[in-house]
Amino acid sequence: MNTLIISSSLSKTSRSFILCKAIHALLQEKGVNAELLDAREMELLPCHKGASPSMEELTKKVEKADNIIFGMGVHCYSVNDGLKIILDNCCGGSVGKFFGIVCAAGGERSYLSTMHLTQICMNEWRMIQLPRIVYATGKDFTDDTISNDDLKDRIKLFAEEFSSIGEKLIS
């Protein structure tokens, strides 16, 4: 199974990237061919400004992936800017694919913000979502490390369910 993990935050201290990295490691332990892409290493150009080479590369990787995990930060109760660019420009090849969401937010009350990503993926590409989201806030981290044991358990469950359901959907 080829799983693409797209960490879309452009923040130097991105917490959603830390979540993506943890899930990447767990999927690899399970033998999943998982690739973690970091938007901070891409040149992201807004819609109508053309696609950069890194955006073209991402578009091809999305086409080839069996399923996708999106890492997002909450911005104004919605998806972060880098993710919107990726969705608008690089995700045409995701039709019908299984996907999951891992999300970092400033506070506990913004958890419904991931619904905007759900709506885009389901309405635009008829994607099928894992009905479990990893949602974390600043309180779950100490410096750049996940320090909340409950969050660690939720990450493990997410990785287990994503890999087992993902396998079933491609076989």
Ligand X SMILES: Cc1cc2nc3c(=O)[nH]c(=O)nc-3n(C[C@H](O)[C@H](O)[C@H](O)COP(=O)(O)O)c2cc1C
Residue 75 found at the interface with ligand X (CB under 6 A): yes
Residue 67 found at the interface with ligand X (CB under 6 A): no
Nearer to ligand X by C-beta: 1 or 72?
72
Span 111-170, contacts to ligand X by CB under 6 A: none
CA quadruple 82, 84, 89, 92: dihedral sign: positive
Residue 77 found at the interface with ligand X (CB under 6 A): yes
Residue 15 found at the interface with ligand X (CB under 6 A): yes
Residues 6+ apart with CB under 8 A from 17: 7, 9, 11, 38, 40, 71
Residue 3 found at the interface with ligand X (CB under 6 A): no
Six-digit token string for 34 = 């998982």
Kind and range of the H or E run holding 117: helix 114-125
Residue 5 found at the interface with ligand X (CB under 6 A): no
Interface with ligand X by CB under 6 A: which range of 13-21, 34-42, 47-55, 83-91?
A: 13-21
Query: Where are any strands of DSSP class E within the chain?
Result: 2-7, 33-38, 67-75, 78-79, 98-105, 128-137, 141-142, 145-146
Residues that bind ligand X (CB under 6 A): 9, 11, 14-17, 73-77, 104-107, 110
